[in-house]
């Protein structure tokens, strides 16, 4: 904003035109004033805050800037430390593993679901199925976590009672490090299947119907039509979803894991975000947690940039 004003003044001697143009556009600048200030404070402020990962940061009562300026600079020591930490490879791996499985599951299953749904010709049935499967998407992970912990509870949960009826032993699905990551993928799929299906269904309905007619006249059955028309027809949107998923490879789902996990599953369920929370907020190791967070932000930034770039090149996908 201020930069704009200075710019306009500097060039004003060259042409009155640009100054009058600026005057004309001033209301547009003014409109954005409050949102821009908020973004500077709450989005760019934290970017400045990243500096504390290069410091031995001790919060002081005199405020953030005072602590920052008077803090002891330690260079890259914190990063050398975290790369040597025994937990570090496992939290990075967990993050990557859970996120990748989620991305793959959320492409394959909604795709099958959408293809099956596409075969249904009764629209009321199609609509009811969509409406019902879409519901969990709108509930928060706290609510869903409450529901899941209740039904999977080892002692009283209905799932373990049903398993018990078949003579199997009760299992603590969310307390066992072996099953925990798969439970995360399954329950995440449960939440989002309706949402992802709708995107794919939209792509399915946009396929030119005359293609099907032509194929049918040529004697292609429904299976052949699916293989040769439907799948190629939506391949571009599937690839787009996969590419955009690449940018999320560092986001294994903080909310979900936070409400579902506990110390017994840290070995397979702890991701960068949950680790940062525990180290930073619970244990007060601000510099350490910020350094771990910065590692994630940098990798995410690179992945996002690459995925947007590919998406733009591949399918004209643009953010703005």
Partner 1 sequence: MKQKTKNDILMGNSTSRKVFVTINTILLITITFITILPIIHIISLSFSSTQAAEGGLVGLLPVQFSLKAYESILGKTSFYKALMISVKRVLIGVPFSLLCTILVAYPLSKEKNKFSARKVYVWFFIITMLFNGGLIPTYIIVKSTGIMNKIWALILPSAVSVFNILILMNFFRELPKELEEAALIDGAGHTSILTKIYLPLAKPALATLVLFIFVFHWNSWFDGLMYINNIEKIPLQTYLQQILTMPDTRFMSADQLQELGNASRRTNNAAQIIISTIPIMIIYPFLQKYYTTGLVLGSVKS
Task: Show contacts with partner 1 in window 66-125 (CB under 8 A).
Answer: 113, 116-117, 119-121, 125
Where is 55: in which H helix or E strand? strand 55-56
- By the 10 Å C-beta count (0-12 exposed, 13-18 middle, 19+ buried), 75 is classed as exposed
Residues 27-66 contacting partner 1, CB under 8 A: 27-29, 31-32, 34-36, 38-39, 41-50, 52, 59, 63-65
Contact pick of 76, 85, 108, 142 for partner 1 (by CB under 8 A): 142
Closest approach, Cβ 199 to partner 1, in A, equals: 5
Residue 262 in tokens = 């506990």
Tallying the residues shown for the chain, one arrives at 320
Distance, CA of 273 to CA of 257 (rounded, Å): 9
Q: Which residues of 177-203 are buried (b: 16+ CB within 10 A; e: fewer)?
A: eebbbebbbbbbbebbbbebbbbbbeb
Closest approach, Cβ 158 to partner 1, in A, equals: 6
Degrees to nearest 5, angle at CA 66 with 63 and 70: 140
Distance, CA of 19 to CA of 25 (rounded, Å): 10
Closest approach, Cβ 90 to partner 1, in A, equals: 19
Which has the closest alpha carbon to 245: 186, 310, 187?
310
Structure letter (DSSP) for residue 119: T
Degrees to nearest 5, angle at CA 53 with 99 and 247: 25
Nearest CB to partner 1, comparing residues 13 and 121 = 121
Nearest CB to partner 1, comparing residues 97 and 190 = 190
Residue 34 in tokens = 């409050």
Residues 220-259 contacting partner 1, CB under 8 A: 221-222, 225, 237, 254-255, 258-259
Nearest CB to partner 1, comparing residues 7 and 80 = 7
Torsion angle of the four alpha carbons 187, 190, 196, 202, in this order, in degrees rounded to the nearest 10: 170
Nearest CB to partner 1, comparing residues 56 and 150 = 150
Residue 170 in tokens = 């009760």
Closest approach, Cβ 101 to partner 1, in A, equals: 19
Where is 297: in which H helix or E strand? helix 286-315
Distance, CA of 171 to CA of 18 (rounded, Å): 72
Nearest CB to partner 1, comparing residues 9 and 206 = 206
What is the pattern of x (binds partner 1, CB under 8 A) and - over residues 178-217?
------------x--xxx--xx--xx--x-----xx--xx
> Cβ distance 250 to 303 under 8 Å?
yes
Contact pick of 94, 249, 261, 269 for partner 1 (by CB under 8 A): 261
Closest approach, Cβ 316 to partner 1, in A, equals: 5
Closest approach, Cβ 100 to partner 1, in A, equals: 21
Contact pick of 85, 104, 150, 235 for partner 1 (by CB under 8 A): 150
Counting residues that bind partner 1 (by CB under 8 A) gives: 111
Residues 9-28 contacting partner 1, CB under 8 A: 21, 25, 27-28
Q: How many CB atoms lie within 10 A of CB 146?
A: 13
Q: Give the range of 72-80, 89-97, 100-108, 271-279 binding partner 1 by CB under 8 A.
A: 271-279
Nearest CB to partner 1, comparing residues 59 and 232 = 59
Q: Which residue has the tokens 């002081």?
A: 60
Closest approach, Cβ 87 to partner 1, in A, equals: 17
Contact pick of 15, 20, 70, 156 for partner 1 (by CB under 8 A): 156
Q: Which residue has the tokens 């579902």?
A: 260
Residues 289-318 contacting partner 1, CB under 8 A: 289-290, 293-294, 296-297, 300-301, 304-305, 308, 315-317
């Amino acid at each position: 904003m201020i930069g704009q004003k200075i710019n306009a003044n500097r060039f004003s001697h060259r042409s009155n035109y640009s100054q009058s143009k600026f005057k004309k556009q001033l209301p547009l600048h003014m409109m954005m004033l409050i949102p821009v200030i908020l973004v500077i404070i709450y989005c760019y402020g934290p970017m400045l805050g990243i500096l504390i990962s290069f410091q031995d940061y001790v919060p002081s009562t005199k405020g953030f800037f005072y602590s920052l300026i008077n803090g002891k600079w330690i260079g890259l020591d914190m990063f050398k430390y975290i790369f040597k930490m025994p937990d570090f490879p496992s939290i990075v791996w967990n993050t990557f593993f859970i996120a990748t499985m989620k991305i793959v599951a959320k492409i394959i299953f909604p795709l099958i679901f959408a293809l099956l749904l596409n075969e249904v010709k009764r629209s009321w049935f199609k609509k009811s199925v969509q409406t019902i499967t879409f519901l969990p998407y709108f509930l928060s992970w706290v609510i869903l976590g409450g529901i899941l912990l209740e039904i999977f509870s080892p002692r009283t949960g209905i799932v373990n009672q049903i398993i018990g009826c078949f003579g199997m032993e009760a299992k603590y699905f969310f307390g066992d490090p072996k099953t925990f990551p798969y439970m995360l993928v399954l329950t995440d799929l449960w939440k989002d299947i309706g949402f992802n299906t709708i995107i794919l269904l939209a792509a399915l309905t946009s396929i030119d119907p005359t293609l099907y007619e032509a194929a049918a006249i040529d004697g292609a059955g429904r299976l052949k039509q699916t293989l040769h028309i439907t799948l190629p027809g939506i391949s571009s949107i599937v690839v787009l979803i996969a590419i955009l998923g690449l940018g999320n490879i560092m986001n294994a789902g903080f909310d979900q894991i936070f409400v579902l996990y506990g110390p017994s599953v840290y070995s397979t369920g702890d991701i960068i975000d949950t680790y940062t929370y525990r180290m930073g907020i619970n244990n007060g190791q601000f510099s350490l947690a910020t350094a771990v967070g910065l590692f994630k932000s940098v990798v995410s930034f690179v992945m996002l940039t690459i995925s947007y770039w590919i998406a733009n090149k591949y399918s004209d996908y643009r953010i703005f």
